[in-house]
């Protein structure tokens, strides 16, 4: 077993890349989708099912885990992998994004961010050093620098000041990582700069000078629209080194992902497949379906005839019945089928890049999803 973290490019098709990240805990085939295991569980799925669906790596949230059950507790219990029965690689975020979106009474200073837990109101200080310490306690294979996720919209001045703070925090994160991390663990920098191309360029160039094992593009998919998001992705990837993986954080729809792959992105995470699965929605090769819709009550066809996922073999009528009845099995099957779809999507993207057929593949998926339109409003079960 290797003790190194390394990224190997295997194929290209335009700017789209197919590669492999090799880590002590396993190989991640890119483009890769990382199911989100917020609180040490990919919601409503067994870890072996996540793996069988094709996931090489999952994401877990530092913010949630440091608050409950606590990073020191997980370390005492043997680390996050043992705790949640996931043997493969785990990427953890730094906690910064959730501090901004979930916690209360945040105060951002040079030192770090002081916030109150959304669970019990207790006050915490998250510094770049503490974010790395927590990720090391969890035993994360890929760790992220603490950044300030710039609010959207932000003025140019706000965005610049926030991005510069994130660069200083990145430097401190890197120093902490160098003293705390185990061999084979990796640290990614995060490009910020809101919707301002020159700030994105400044951020990317500075991070590359600092030097990281991989680079994320952060602060996007927050309301700026797909065109702007993709422009910012292209600005960043143009400056990022070819021999390091690139990760677009928190994205997205199938179309978002394929468009970002076309601009040189290798990794994604998003709650969409699991959250949608708990909201009666399915991602299929026929587009997106809302299983609450009465049109499925008598539909004997399988959820997705084009899928090899066992969950997709259940009839739409049965899934409709389960979600209408508020049955947990509905959330289980739809989460499973959705994660499987996302894994199939990236597997087919990898294949398409290898055969230089990526553009046609992305166009086909876009067409399937455009035809399905917006799903009906759905109720969480």
Catalytic (active-site) positions:
93, 269
When the beta carbons of 83 and 212 are compared against its own copies, the nearer one is 83
List C-alpha distances in Å: 367 to 84, 112, 253: 38, 45, 13
Q: Which of 140, 170, 230, 332 binds its own copies (CB under 8 A)?
A: 332
Residue whose tokens read 């087919």: 348
Strand, coil or helix: what is 118? coil
319 part of the interface to its own copies, by CB under 8 A: no
Q: Which of 41, 127, 135, 192 binds its own copies (CB under 8 A)?
A: 41
When the beta carbons of 70 and 211 are compared against its own copies, the nearer one is 70
In angstroms, what is the minimal distance from the CB of 297 to its own copies? 7
First to last CA, the chain: 43
Q: What is the CB neighbour count within 10 angstroms for residue 87? A: 12
**What's the CA angle centered on 162, arms 159 and 166, to 5 degrees?**
130
317 part of the interface to its own copies, by CB under 8 A: yes
Compose the 82-121 pattern: x for residues touching its own copies by CB under 8 A, - for all others: -xxx------------------------------------
User: What is the rounded CA–CA span in Å between residue 164 and residue 122?
Assistant: 29
204 part of the interface to its own copies, by CB under 8 A: no
**What's the CA angle centered on 369, arms 238 and 46, to 5 degrees?**
85
Nearest of 142, 74, 67 to residue 102 by alpha carbon: 67
39 part of the interface to its own copies, by CB under 8 A: yes
The β-bridge partners of 16 are 13
Contact 1, 27 (CB under 8 A): no
In angstroms, what is the minimal distance from the CB of 278 to its own copies? 8
When the beta carbons of 78 and 153 are compared against its own copies, the nearer one is 78
69 part of the interface to its own copies, by CB under 8 A: yes
Q: Which of 28, 187, 303, 331 binds its own copies (CB under 8 A)?
A: 331
26 part of the interface to its own copies, by CB under 8 A: no
- 264-283 binders of its own copies (CB under 8 A): 278
């Amino acid at each position: 077993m290797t003790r190194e973290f390394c990224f190997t490019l295997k194929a290209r098709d335009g700017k789209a890349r197919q590669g492999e990240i090799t880590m002590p805990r396993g190989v991640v085939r890119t483009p890769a989708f990382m199911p989100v295991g917020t609180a040490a569980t990919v919601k409503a799925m067994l870890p072996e099912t996540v793996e069988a669906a094709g996931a090489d790596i999952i994401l877990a949230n530092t913010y949630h885990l440091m608050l409950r059950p606590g990073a020191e507790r997980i370390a005492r219990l043997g680390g996050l992998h043992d705790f949640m029965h996931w043997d493969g690689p785990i990427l953890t975020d730094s906690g910064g994004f959730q501090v901004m979106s979930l916690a209360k009474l945040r105060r951002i200073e040079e030192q770090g961010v002081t916030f109150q837990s959304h669970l019990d109101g207790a006050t915490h200080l998250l510094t770049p050093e503490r974010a790395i310490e927590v990720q090391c306690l969890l035993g994360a294979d890929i760790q992220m620098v603490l950044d300030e996720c710039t609010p959207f919209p932000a003025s140019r001045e706000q965005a610049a000041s926030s991005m510069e703070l994130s660069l200083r925090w990145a430097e401190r994160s890197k120093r902490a990582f160098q003293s705390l991390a185990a061999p084979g663990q990796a640290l990614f920098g995060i490009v910020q700069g809101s919707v301002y191309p020159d700030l994105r360029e400044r951020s990317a160039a500075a991070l590359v000078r600092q030097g990281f094992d991989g680079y994320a593009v952060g602060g996007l998919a927050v309301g700026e629209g797909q065109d702007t998001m993709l422009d910012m992705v292209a600005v960043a990837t143009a400056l990022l080194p070819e021999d390091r993986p690139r990760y677009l954080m928190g994205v997205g729809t199938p179309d978002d992902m394929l468009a970002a792959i076309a601009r040189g992105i290798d990794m994604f995470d998003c709650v969409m497949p699991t959250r949608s699965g708990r909201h009666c929605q399915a991602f299929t090769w026929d587009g997106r379906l809302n299983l609450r819709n009465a049109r499925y009550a008598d539909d004997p066809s399988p959820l997705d005839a084009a899928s090899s996922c066992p969950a997709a073999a259940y009839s739409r009528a049965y899934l409709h019945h389960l979600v209408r009845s508020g049955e947990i099995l509905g959330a289980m099957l739809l989460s499973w089928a959705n994660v499987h779809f996302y894994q199939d999507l990236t597997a087919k993207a990898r294949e398409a890049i290898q055969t230089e057929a990526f553009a046609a593949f992305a166009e086909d998926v876009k067409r399937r999803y455009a035809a399905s339109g917006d799903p009906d409003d759905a109720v969480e079960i």
